[in-house]
Amino acid sequence: MNLATQHRLAGKGVYAITDGPRDDLFAAVEAALAGGARLLQYRDKTKDAARRLAEASELSSICARYDATFIVNDDVALAAQVGAGVHLGREDGDVATARAALGEDAVIGVSCYNSIERARELASAGADYLAFGAMYPSTTKPHAPHASLDVLRQAAALGLPMVAIGGITPENAPPVLDAGADYLAVVSAIFAASDIQTATRRFANLFDATHGFSA
């Protein structure tokens, strides 16, 4: 991991992931960032390329104002257009291709599900963070396989930031953090909340010094 990427991912914190098209997207994201989110992933599975480009461009600007890292889900071409990082799942291409398109300073994250073997392979391929989940039953991906706390403990030896995702709430997050997660990735518990900023702050508070974590 290069020094620029390492600097952006230093520390620990909340990784907010948007929940598809919504009329109040920009206000919702700004509320999450004001609540303490450190990373923001734009996740929109629709095929509306013009809208997605416009939204991603504006979200990139909003993240810059909050000094938050901006990630695009799955779409390397869109990430390149707006100067973002990218998150890659199993079917979304390889790290080397994304790196060639996005450059050395881009953050490239990968889904490892519950596989330490996949994590080792992708760490060697140059990923900047490793995501594991679902840690708990997820409303966003109800059929996602369960990931164990033990896989987080094993993956710590790979030396990359670890992201935990899937059904995480402020109440069930402490064991995930204790197992070594650096970032808590949250979708509905933030973006389906009536007060997004407060919901995000509840997660961000888990990382304060009194809990042994650095925000």
pLDDT tens, residue by residue, 150-208: 999 999 999 999 999 999 999 999 999 999 999 999 999 999 999 999 999 999 999 98
Token pair of 25 as six digits:
């997207």
Could you give the angle at the alpha carbon of 121 between the alpha carbons of 115 and 127, nearest 5°?
A: 100
Residue 212 confidence (pLDDT): 47
* Pair 184, 175: CB distance under 8 Å: no
Mean pLDDT of the chain: 92
Beta bridge partner(s), residue 110: 88, 130
pLDDT band with cut points at 50, 70 and 90 for residue 215: very low
Residue 141 confidence (pLDDT): 78
Please give the Cα distance from 143 to 210 (Å, whole number): 35
* Pair 99, 126: CB distance under 8 Å: yes
Residue with the larger pLDDT of the pair 10 and 147: 147
Please give the Cα distance from 15 to 65 (Å, whole number): 16
Find the helix or strand (DSSP H, E) in which 108 lies: strand 108-113
Query: 3-211 maps to which CATH number?
Result: 3.20.20.70
Beta bridge partner(s), residue 130: 110, 162
Please check the confidence at residue 209 and state whether its pLDDT lies above 50.
no
Query: Which residues participate in catalysis according to the annotation?
Result: 43, 111, 141
CB neighbour list of residue 109: distance below 8 Å, 6 or more residues apart: 71, 85, 86, 87, 88, 127, 128, 129, 130, 131, 163
Please check the confidence at residue 211 and state whether its pLDDT lies above 90.
no
* Pair 116, 156: CB distance under 8 Å: no
